């Protein structure tokens, strides 16, 4: 960029040790200091007489040290007594340095900022912030900003650095008045000045109000920078070249004829979007969204067939072996009867099988390759790769996406999310993709009743499983997730299976878990599908892909340990037939606040998009985005839920800016994302 000699982009002139600490805060260039905004504020503008200092909020008091001592009971602590004209106060320090003692020599004056509370021996402050003063030292005339920091970097140092740059750097407007005025944005310069150095007329509550125009401005700028960089990435991709894929429909119509169902209108709609993209001479990057059970797999299969009809190969990747294998089995069952070759590639293949698969892919004999990360490896070559389908795209990193691109001419990409992505995330972090949504479930699904039950009532639940089987229905029993140990999890499943086999002696009780050999697993699943087994005990391997419409009861043990997406996936295994379905979530008390929040959401909602939205509220975007977050700039100030209006405005304005004010775009991106936008080119 041409802005390299802009002082804003110059590296910091600080000691290397300080630079290292600043780097941890993401501060590399001078302007980064300006964008390092306070977390909160402290009020050191007003002194309270000790006797009148209110409880329960931070207050500043000043007094003379009348005594200090180090006590050893109940634990080592420094206790200081200060006095002003109105009364005395105890300052208590559990952690202190010997050097601190010097500050509290009798007769010295100190100011202490903290919350006063009633202690055993009168009023006290625990761990106040203290400073030695001389009589009559002036008070701060405005609120003190407190910044996010790291160990060893003090607030005064940060403040000095930031305030220095506020004086020296240009805070000129990056955006044209044609945008600033209709959106009624506060000026950038005034906004950062106010937040870093508030004028005396602002209170703490005003300054920390997210609707304060200064915060709104910074949030908007941040969201706009995100939208601009996403759109630029989108544009760059549209300039890339990819094969034009136009199949004649012969395999698709054959598969349709073989299917026991017809596609829903929603499936037809998204498929049409995908087919139209494939016919373009630039690479598709489309995200296929749909709730659990909405039928994404058949859409993926039809898309693959379109590419195969046109003479291209297709690769489908899933992040885990189990998921990949389920896709393989399903797709092979659809494509092999058409005479097409489906290859399987995973890390656990024996050498001979692996080289056979590799050869088939390289020679072009393979029509569709299904696998795990193994498909990314260097030894994998395709003769004519036209389309890549990635399931659970958020689990794959940018680097991996790149590796695949290098395999030939750039292939089209279809990404699928196993669980819905909330609209706000799709609008922001996924704005570089085109999105198709399957917004309708296949017909014939019945609503699921969810019950939250304390695990103390396990016996009743076993009786309920019994009753369900007597009515000719089947049940899943999902064993708890034990994160610390896979072996322990396996053991629990084996134990539960043994116990339920006794308790439900009338019925066939099967067991599946992740360590079984694929053919053993397949045999158990097939027996369950044929109703030779009525109860299936499983680890979370059945989270994905299992489809037995006659199963109408799902019991999940230790539901409090599972994430919302996982619970929603599991519950989606029932409700596929015509019988009324029930999902019993067994939980163990005491429940953490997080677990309580999650169980409430899953109990109250069945719509996956709503569950995803709540999940986002509970967890924040970081975890949600998974690997994607390493590729796109995170938001520091904007909050997707609170700031939806700003997000919408940024989304609306980004294309106009790109078209009419490219200089403004350059300046804005430079201010907000300098040095980071290269990630997006991936």
**Using CB under 6 A as the criterion, which residues of the chain lie in contact with ligand ADP when the complex forms?**
261, 263-264, 267, 290, 292-298, 442, 545, 547
Beta carbon nearer to ligand ADP, 216 or 264: 264
Residue recorded with tokens 């200081």: 80
What the block records as the tokens of 673 is 């994302």
Strands 144-146, 40-42: parallel, antiparallel or unpaired by DSSP? antiparallel
**Which alpha helices (H) appear in 240-314, and where do they start and end?**
250-258, 265-278, 296-309
In angstroms, give the least distance from the CB of 148 to ligand ADP. Answer: 40
> How many CA atoms lie within 13 Å of 600's alpha carbon, on the beta-carbon side?
9
Beta carbon nearer to ligand ADP, 174 or 297: 297
Query: Which residue number has the CB closest to ligand ADP?
Result: 295
C-beta neighbour count of 520 within 10 angstroms: 13
C-beta neighbour count of 238 within 10 angstroms: 12
In angstroms, give the least distance from the CB of 545 to ligand ADP. Answer: 6
Beta carbon nearer to ligand ADP, 86 or 256: 256
Task: Report phi then psi at 390, rounded to 5.
Answer: -120, 120
In angstroms, give the least distance from the CB of 291 to ligand ADP. Answer: 7
How many whole angstroms separate alpha carbon 294 and alpha carbon 443? 10
For residues 312 and 245, is the Cβ–Cβ distance under 8 A?
Answer: yes
Beta carbon nearer to ligand ADP, 173 or 547: 547
Beta carbon nearer to ligand ADP, 145 or 293: 293
Sequence length of the chain is 682
In angstroms, give the least distance from the CB of 362 to ligand ADP. Answer: 30
In angstroms, give the least distance from the CB of 337 to ligand ADP. Answer: 15
- Nearest-CA neighbor of 427 among 681, 230, 212, 141? 230
In angstroms, give the least distance from the CB of 544 to ligand ADP. Answer: 8
Task: Report phi then psi at 367, rounded to 5.
Answer: -90, -45
Beta carbon nearer to ligand ADP, 573 or 668: 573
What the block records as the tokens of 473 is 């229905």
Beta carbon nearer to ligand ADP, 157 or 529: 529
Residue recorded with tokens 């110059």: 10
What the block records as the tokens of 644 is 């939806």
DSSP code of 388?
A: E
Q: Using omega within 30 degrees of 0 as the cis cutoff, is the peptide bond preceding 80 cis?
A: no
In angstroms, give the least distance from the CB of 640 to ligand ADP. Answer: 24
Beta carbon nearer to ligand ADP, 213 or 442: 442
In angstroms, give the least distance from the CB of 326 to ligand ADP. Answer: 9
How many whole angstroms separate alpha carbon 543 and alpha carbon 566? 7
How many whole angstroms separate alpha carbon 356 and alpha carbon 348? 14
In angstroms, give the least distance from the CB of 322 to ligand ADP. Answer: 14
In angstroms, give the least distance from the CB of 418 to ligand ADP. Answer: 7
Reduced to 3 states, what is the DSSP secondary structure of residue 205?
Answer: helix
How many whole angstroms separate alpha carbon 264 and alpha carbon 443? 8
Task: Report phi then psi at 374, rounded to 5.
Answer: -55, -30
- Nearest-CA neighbor of 332 among 551, 512, 522, 513? 522
Q: Which residues of 114-129 are buried (b: 16+ CB within 10 A; e: fewer)?
A: bbbeeeeeebbbeebb
Beta carbon nearer to ligand ADP, 290 or 633: 290
How many whole angstroms separate alpha carbon 414 and alpha carbon 391? 8
Beta carbon nearer to ligand ADP, 302 or 511: 302
How many whole angstroms separate alpha carbon 333 and alpha carbon 326? 11
In angstroms, give the least distance from the CB of 298 to ligand ADP. Answer: 5
Beta carbon nearer to ligand ADP, 289 or 424: 289
Beta carbon nearer to ligand ADP, 145 or 572: 572
In angstroms, give the least distance from the CB of 292 to ligand ADP. Answer: 5
């Amino acid at each position: 960029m041409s802005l390299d000699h802009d002082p804003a982009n110059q590296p910091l002139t600080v000691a290397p040790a300080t630079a290292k600490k600043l780097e941890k805060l993401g501060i590399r260039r001078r302007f980064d200091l300006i964008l390092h905004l306070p977390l909160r504020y402290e009020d050191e503008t007003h002194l309270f007489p000790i006797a009148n200092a209110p409880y329960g909020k931070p207050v500043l008091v000043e007094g003379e040290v009348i005594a200090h001592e180090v006590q050893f009971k109940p634990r080592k602590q420094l206790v200081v007594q200060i006095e002003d004209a109105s009364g005395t106060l105890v300052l208590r320090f559990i952690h202190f340095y010997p050097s601190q003692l010097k500050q509290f020599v009798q007769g010295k004056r100190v100011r202490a900022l903290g919350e006063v509370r009633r202690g055993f021996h009168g009023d006290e402050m625990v761990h106040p912030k203290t400073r030695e003063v001389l009589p009559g030292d002036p008070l701060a005339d405005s609120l003190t900003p407190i910044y996010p920091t790291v160990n060893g970097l003090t607030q005064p140092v940060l403040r000095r650095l930031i305030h220095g740059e506020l004086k020296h750097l240009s805070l000129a407007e990056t955006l044209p008045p044609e945008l600033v005025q209709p959106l009624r944005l506060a000026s950038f310069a005034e906004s950062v000045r106010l937040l870093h150095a508030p004028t005396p007329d602002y209170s703490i509550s005003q300054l920390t109000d997210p609707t304060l125009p200064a915060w709104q401005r910074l949030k908007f700028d941040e969201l706009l920078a995100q939208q601009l960089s996403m759109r630029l990435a989108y544009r760059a991709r549209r300039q890339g070249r990819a094969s034009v894929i136009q199949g004649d429909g012969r395999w698709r119509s054959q598969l349709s004829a073989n299917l026991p169902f017809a596609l829903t209108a929603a499936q037809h709609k998204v498929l049409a979007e995908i087919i139209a993209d494939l016919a373009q001479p630039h690479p598709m990057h489309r995200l296929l969204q749909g709730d659990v059970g909405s039928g994404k797999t058949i859409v993926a299969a039809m898309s693959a067939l379109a590419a195969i009809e046109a003479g291209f190969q297709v690769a489908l990747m899933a992040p885990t072996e189990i998921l990949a294998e389920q896709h393989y089995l399903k797709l092979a069952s659809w494509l092999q009867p058409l005479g097409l070759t489906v290859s399987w590639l995973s890390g656990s293949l024996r050498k001979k099988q692996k080289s056979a698969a590799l050869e088939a892919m390289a020679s072009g004999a393979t029509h569709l390759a299904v696998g795990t990360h193994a498909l990314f490896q260097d030894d994998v070559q395709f003769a004519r790769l036209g389309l890549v389908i990635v399931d659970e795209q958020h689990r794959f990193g940018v680097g991996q996406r790149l590796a695949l691109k290098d395999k030939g001419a750039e292939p089209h990409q279809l990404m699928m999310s196993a669980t819905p992505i909330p609209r706000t995330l799709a609008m922001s972090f996924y704005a570089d993709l085109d999105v198709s949504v399957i917004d309708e479930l296949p017909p014939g699904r019945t609503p699921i009743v969810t019950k939250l039950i304390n695990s103390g009532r396990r016996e009743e639940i076993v009786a309920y499983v019994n009753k369900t089987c007597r009515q000719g229905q089947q049940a899943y029993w999902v064993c708890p997730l034990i994160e610390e140990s896979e072996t322990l999890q396996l053991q629990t499943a084996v134990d539960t299976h043994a116990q339920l086999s006794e308790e439900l002696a009338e019925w066939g009780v099967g067991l599946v878990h992740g360590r079984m050999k694929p053919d053993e697993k397949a045999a158990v699943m097939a027996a369950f599908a044929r109703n030779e087994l009525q109860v299936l005990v499983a680890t979370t391997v059945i989270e994905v892909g299992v489809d037995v419409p006659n199963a109408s009861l799902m019991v999940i043990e230790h539901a409090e340990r599972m994430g919302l997406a996982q619970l929603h996936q599991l519950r989606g295994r029932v409700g596929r037939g015509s019988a009324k379905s029930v999902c019993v979530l067994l939980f163990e008390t005491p429940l953490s606040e997080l677990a309580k929040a999650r169980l409430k959401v899953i109990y109250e909602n069945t719509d996956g998009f709503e569950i995803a939205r709540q999940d986002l509220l509970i967890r924040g975007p970081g975890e949600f985005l998974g690997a994607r977050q390493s590729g796109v700039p995170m938001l520091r100030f904007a909050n997707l839920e609170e700031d939806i209006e700003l997000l919408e405005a940024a989304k609306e304005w980004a294309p106009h800016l790109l078209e009419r004010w490219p200089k403004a775009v350059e300046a804005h991106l430079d201010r907000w994302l300098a040095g980071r936008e290269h990630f997006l080119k991936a």
